[in-house]
Amino acid sequence: MVGGGGMRGAYPAGMLDALDSIGLRDAVDEIYGASSGSFLAACFAAGHAAGAAASFPEDLASRAFVDLRRFASRRPVLSLDHLLYGVLGGTKPMPWDALLASPMRVRLVATAVDDLRPRVLGGLTDPDAWRRGLRASAAIPVIAGPAVEHEGRRWVDGSIGEPLALARAVRGGATHVLVLLSRPTADLRLDPDVRIPWWARLLDRFTPGLGTLTQGEARYGADLALVTDPAHPGLRGARVAAIEPSTGTGMGALTVDPGPVGDAVRVGRESALAALGSDALPHR
């Protein structure tokens, strides 16, 4: 379960690089991701975790990827074209054949525009479909581009409807789940009953998903209740562990300073290695 959130994905990028470096990739049966977490999930399944982690300070912490000045020209602030073609097609090329052949099941979560409900995307059978799926899972009107057409529906960022797909994985039969968080739980609101205010819901009607996205940490409540309560009935007996960043580095979703971004990758890697040395993780 890979958390996203724009450039905050640098933390789980480091975590996945650590998992891969110590040989745990083959122990993962399926992986879920939304937003930048979808990019990381696909890279991990393809054996490209190190490249994905390196891309944050080397390629994504740049005006080519994030540029607030694009607001003035009505272009997306965050360029998914740079990620999909400049990085995955250039500086850190994605091994698409390895992704297609991977036994690991990659579940990209996106939010349907017509009802703002999250779903796992299907039809990812070739590189073009994967690129479209990755774009659909991260699209945010105004911020990261318009809704994406895929298999007869329009889709936006999966984290709008489901920041963490933990409940979905458990419903699908998962018995051991590892959640990689892109921010400390102390920074997130844990109340699962929090409601999105009326003005945000109204904004969603005109710009799908943008109003809900403005609620930030409030969207995580129901998911985090499963992470923080091992006896939660929604877990159906599944064993769940989470790795969160051990410290913050001043990162935001649109940070372009390579220093804090590189530090976030390092913190993520170190946090994963520290967690793996404890008794906190479930064993296969």
Domain that holds residue 26: 6-278
Please give the distance of CA 119 from its chain centroid, rounded to a whole number.
14
Is 271 within a domain? yes
Is 157 an annotated catalytic residue? yes
Contact by Cβ (8 Å): 267, 282: no
Residue 266 makes CB contacts below 8 A (sequence gap 6+) with 14
Contact by Cβ (8 Å): 137, 158: yes
Is 284 within a domain? no
Is 1 within a domain? no
Mean pLDDT, rounded, for 187-214: 63
Find the catalytic residue in 35, 36, 137, 271. 35
| Rg of the chain on CA atoms, in Å | 17
Predicted pLDDT at 193: 57
Number of domains in the chain: 1
Q: What is the pLDDT of residues 223-264, one digit of tens each?
A: 778 888 888 888 989 999 999 999 988 888 899 999 999 999
Mean pLDDT, rounded, for 189-218: 62
Instruction: Assign 202 a pLDDT band (cuts: 50, 70, 90).
Output: low
Is 227 within a domain? yes
CATH number of residue 19's parent domain: 3.40.1090.10
Find the catalytic residue in 157, 204, 223, 263. 157
Predicted pLDDT at 283: 39
Is 111 within a domain? yes
Mean pLDDT, rounded, for 96-105: 98
Q: What is the pLDDT of residues 54-87, one digit of tens each?
A: 999 999 999 999 999 998 888 999 999 999 999 9
Is 200 within a domain? yes
Which H or E run contains 241?
Answer: strand 239-243
Is 257 an annotated catalytic residue? no
- Residue length, the chain? 284
Predicted pLDDT at 199: 58
Residue 152 makes CB contacts below 8 A (sequence gap 6+) with none
pLDDT over 70 at 119, yes or no: yes
Predicted pLDDT at 280: 45
Higher pLDDT, 140 or 180: 180
The pTM for the full model equals 0.89
Mean pLDDT, rounded, for 25-50: 97
Is 283 within a domain? no
Instruction: Assign 103 a pLDDT band (cuts: 50, 70, 90).
Output: very high
pLDDT over 50 at 12, yes or no: yes
Higher pLDDT, 244 or 189: 244
